[in-house]
Amino acid sequence: MTSDNEEHLLSEILKWIKIIGAKDVKSVLMNALDTDQKLQIYSLSDGNRGSVEIGKASGTSDRTVRRYWEKWKTLGIVESTKVKGGERYYASFDPDNFGLNLSRSRSNEQSKGGGND
């Protein structure tokens, strides 16, 4: 098998794995990111921002951010990278690709009679 054939085959396998796994990924993301704050923290987790910066932006402590990162790492929805001061995390998936975003989350809460934020 030539290198081009192998690359094409791997590309086809990857395509089907993505299709098969998309439903499961969406379910895991919906369960793990069940509040606006968690969704915001996850969306800001890009490997460049630290827990302090993300905590300030999302209105919580850096400890809470780190706790979510550890939980999400166990679920397989974030990956870590080493940095000078320790470890940072980045989202493995884009929530928008699975229909999860802050504006949709808020509209769902309001349609359920939720808050007015």
Which domains does the chain carry?
Answer: 3-111 (1.10.10.10)
What pLDDT does 49 receive?
Answer: 95
- Mean pLDDT, consecutive 10-residue stretches, the chain (117 aa), reads 90 91 93 96 96 97 98 97 91 94 56 43
Radius of gyration of the chain (CA): 17
Determine the Cα–Cα distance for residues 93 and 100; give it in Å rounded to an integer. 11
